Structure 1
């Protein structure tokens, strides 16, 4: 990515957003703005300096990848009818949106792809991760513990999807790591020290584990001490669980 400019490495100063249709991409390219509903805006909306676009299935051969990004030059809150004055009767005409003013769109030398063609909403990330990413899962910036486990999984060629949402019985669950197998799947959760001292959190986790298990997921939970000092043992248990679930279902056999 020789054309990329250097930037801060710790702040979440890059926001990856979905690009659902060609009209919105053309607006970003020619009119230099992008909209995000205020009520569903990500946490880093005010600090993001760059906006990158994850193209969905509407883009045919270019789907499920990030190809374009742009600097954010400013942001204001407006109503949808101000963005699209020709649509005064739209059901969301009075809803508030962030209007992100953009610089020129730039094209990555190498797209950041989703190998499983997954759906996302927003991914706040750092400039450093954005510059180095080869695939979508490289972008997530949740915690050092999760980064350490992800790096270990990659070293051992265990394919996983980070921050992966599943819907079961009308409820939606976010998995730290989803590992897809031939006879079921594996959910790997990274629990910080504070998590174990919260009785309500433990109760919610037990309920969540029961729901996921009933839907065919094997749930593994690792605390910070295990991930910091016993990574080899964690990986051994993950591999054993994958074998019990029939072995990895690699991307070549995954549903696109």
Structure 2
């Protein structure tokens, strides 16, 4: 009997949640007991999902650093950790509340969704369409149509960037739309929606953010909605390429997987960023 699949017309944001698995015991529960847990206080803003896909960390050998499996969500209910693991001795986390997500059988994706680099991945809300089409983790992000458009052009030009890259500066954390790491510096590329960024309060926040990133060695490029939609080839892409060239070219080290997007492996720009901690308990 054929398994039901979402309609191709379904584009609901957050219908798929990419979550992390960094423990073989948790993966065994997914396969045998068909459930996953998320602390209620750290659940993503787009919740609940219809599907869950699983990013496997370095302990999984040949399947590591990739999304290989997904499952249909059957039910979600709140429980305490004590209810999840009744055999565990009392501990400080016993009373913590979780979403217990009951799932169907694990299904293998037609192709793994690879992580180009070492990076922290916890939750990525995305769409079914993106999950099925993605070749790498960066293809999954679903923040805005402007970012999607810029991402498509960066890939076409073989400019390797990391989407939604988190940076800490002076106790503050910033999510960069696109991060490019170069021999002599770092580039933050932002896709600015006109309505949001024309607000004076938001403009002030952007100014402070730009200054903080500059102190940390980032070169910030901001492109407006009009520029991305109407001046991509004439202005946006040349600005990115010239900045990368001025900073000595993109760094090529610490590669996890070859993801060529039509280029040879030698043409790929890579980054080594080790963040081994994955605490979603």
- TM-score tier (shorter): over 0.9
Number of residues of Structure 1 aligned to a counterpart in Structure 2: 253
- Contact 2:18–2:124 (Cα < 8 Å) also in 1: yes
1:170 aligns with 2:171: yes
- Contact 1:186–1:220 (Cα < 8 Å) also in 2: yes
Q: Which one of 18, 22, 25 corresponds to residue 24 of structure 2?
A: 22
Q: Given the superposition, is the C-alpha separation of residues 244 and 4 from structure 1 closer, same or farther in structure 2, using an over 3 Å criterion? A: farther
Superposed counterparts of 1:77-226, under 5 Å:
77-226=78-227
- Give the deviation of 1:172 after TM superposition: 1.7
Q: Which one of 239, 242, 256 corresponds to residue 240 of structure 1?
A: 242
CA distance in 2, matches of 1:164, 1:4: 35
Match for residue 59 of structure 1?
60
Structure 2 stretches lacking a partner, 5+ long: 256-269, 274-281
TM-score (norm: length of structure 1): 0.93
- Give the deviation of 1:57 after TM superposition: 2.2
TM-score (norm: length of structure 2): 0.85
1:255 aligns with 2:266: no
What's the C-alpha RMSD, in Å, of the aligned pairs? 1.7
Higher helix share: 1
Q: Given the superposition, is the C-alpha separation of residues 234 and 117 from structure 1 closer, same or farther in structure 2, using an over 3 Å criterion? A: same
CA distance in 1, matches of 2:4, 2:177: 29
CA deviations over 1:14-42 (Å, ceiling 9, x no partner): 11001111111111111110000111111
Structure 1 runs of 4+ aligned residues shifted over 6 Å read none
Match for residue 260 of structure 2?
none
CA deviations over 1:144-185 (Å, ceiling 9, x no partner): 111100001011000111111122233221100011111111
- Contact 2:109–2:132 (Cα < 8 Å) also in 1: no
CA distance in 2, matches of 1:6, 1:166: 35
